[in-house]
């Protein structure tokens, strides 16, 4: 047997990491400006994280959700305080796609409807309804194409409000900073109008914070720049810094019923301890404010580079747009400059570094990018 070949792979194997650096099998050192798709929130192999997870693994790795688990309660309380959502409830699962699946399922339980509005360019996952709400026909199989989802341009207030006013929309799901879609930001006027329309027509507002949340934007959640309060908030990626975990923050308007949602592995002991360790580090090292400050520094420095045609983002979720494809630029950055970055679409370099990135490391990246651009 061999792995199912669905991932295009660079010819490099990463075998260890520390902070914002990783090393390959030949012991070459790289600066990590991608964090494994925004997963590595507190840096690779943080000592506190390793200590907490190792201690728990020696005690108990897993038991089912049929018994009490005080770690779930502790994590829910801590997350509520850290995010400003102490009055919400928390349902724990294993990934961002699962979080979005459960959000849309819960919304449909709430109002009995089946229609969803999503934004053009949206990415919400690769499973079932999450992939149907993802604006990429290439990854939607025939079984996923069930006409549940209407795609409308992000920030087109009139289009969203008019569609919601039809009265049959179950949920609106929005990434307040689109990741895969190209680091496009929802604006305040748009989100507040959508919130108002959802309230008027009993439609559920879901903010997908899987990539842009958990401190990455320079606030705990990206939607907190926009002065809106969603009914449901989905999180994953940076929540446990590499341990598979996702979460759904749930407004008090939803009433739980035994069996309406469920999971085998969600909220297991190891996952909760990993997530608690992440919150410890985020709070103790002030990583949310660091993301805001260092992100602004990177964007300021990148404005020096004339090849960059547009710079978008907040905090340490940044898109650098060029006037031609960045495929070869990314290869040069990896194999000659020893820097990992991401892409979004064809012409956009996507930066999602650990939230502990320093201004010195940011400057180092900019210089390496300038070197790579000599051959671009």
Task: Name the residue ranges covered by the structural domains of the chain.
Answer: 48-284, 286-373
Which residues are registered as beta bridge partners of 207? 174, 233
pLDDT at residue 346 in the model: 96
User: Cα separation of 361 and 298, whole Å?
Assistant: 10
Match 């301890």 to its residue by tokens: 273
Average pLDDT over residues 71-94: 98
Q: Are 95 and 236 in contact (CB under 8 A)?
A: yes
User: Cα separation of 154 and 297, whole Å?
Assistant: 27
Would you identify the CATH topology of the domain 286-373?
A: 3.90.1150
Instruction: Label residue 233 by pLDDT band (50, 70, 90).
Output: very high
Q: Does the domain at residues 48-284 carry the CATH identifier 3.40.640.10?
A: yes
Number of neighbouring beta carbons within 10 Å of residue 246: 28
Average pLDDT over residues 213-242: 98
pLDDT higher than 90, residue 375: no
Phi-psi region of 313 (alpha: psi -120 to 50; beta: other; left: phi over 0): left
User: Cα separation of 195 and 206, whole Å?
Assistant: 10
**Closest among 149, 91, 142, 85 to 123, alpha carbons compared:** 149
**Closest among 214, 194, 193 to 288, alpha carbons compared:** 214
Instruction: Label residue 376 by pLDDT band (50, 70, 90).
Output: confident
pLDDT at residue 292 in the model: 98
pLDDT at residue 241 in the model: 98
């Amino acid at each position: 047997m061999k792995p199912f070949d669905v991932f295009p792979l660079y010819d490099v194997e990463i075998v260890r990491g520390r902070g914002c650096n990783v090393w390959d099998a030949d012991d070459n050192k790289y600066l990590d400006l991608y964090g494994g798709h925004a997963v590595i929130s507190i840096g690779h192999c943080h000592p506190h994280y390793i200590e907490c997870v190792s201690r728990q693994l020696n005690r108990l790795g897993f038991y089912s959700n049929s018994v009490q688990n005080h770690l779930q309660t502790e994590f829910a309380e801590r997350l509520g305080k850290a995010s400003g959502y102490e009055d919400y409830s928390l349902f724990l699962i294993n990934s961002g796609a699962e979080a979005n699946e459960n959000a849309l399922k819960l919304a449909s339980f709430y109002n009995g409807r089946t229609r969803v509005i999503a934004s053009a360019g949206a990415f919400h996952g690769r499973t079932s309804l999450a992939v149907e709400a993802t604006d990429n026909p290439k990854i939607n199989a025939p079984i996923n194409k069930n006409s549940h989802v209407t795609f409308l341009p992000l920030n087109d207030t009139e289009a969203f409000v008019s569609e919601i006013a039809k009265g049959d929309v179950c949920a609106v799901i929005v990434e307040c900073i689109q990741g895969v879609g190209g680091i496009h930001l929802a604006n305040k006027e748009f989100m507040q109008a959508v919130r108002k329309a959802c309230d008027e027509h009993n439609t559920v507002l879901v903010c997908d914070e899987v990539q842009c949340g958990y401190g990455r934007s320079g606030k705990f959640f990206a939607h907190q720049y926009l002065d809106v309060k969603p009914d449901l908030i989905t999180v994953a990626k940076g929540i446990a810094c590499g341990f598979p975990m996702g979460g759904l923050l749930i407004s008090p308007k939803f009433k739980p019923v035994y069996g309406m949602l469920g999971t085998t592995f969600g909220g297991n002991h190891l996952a909760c301890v990993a997530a608690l360790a992440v919150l410890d580090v985020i709070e103790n090292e002030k990583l949310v404010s660091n993301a805001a400050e260092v992100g602004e520094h990177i964007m300021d420095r990148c404005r020096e580079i004339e090849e960059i045609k547009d710079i978008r983002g907040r905090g340490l979720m940044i898109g650098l747009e060029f006037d031609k494809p960045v495929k070869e630029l990314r290869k040069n950055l990896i194999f000659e400059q020893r820097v990992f970055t991401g892409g979004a679409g064809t012409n956009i370099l996507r930066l999602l570094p650990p939230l502990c990135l320093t201004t010195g490391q940011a400057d180092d990246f900019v210089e390496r990018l300038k070197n790579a651009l000599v051959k671009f």
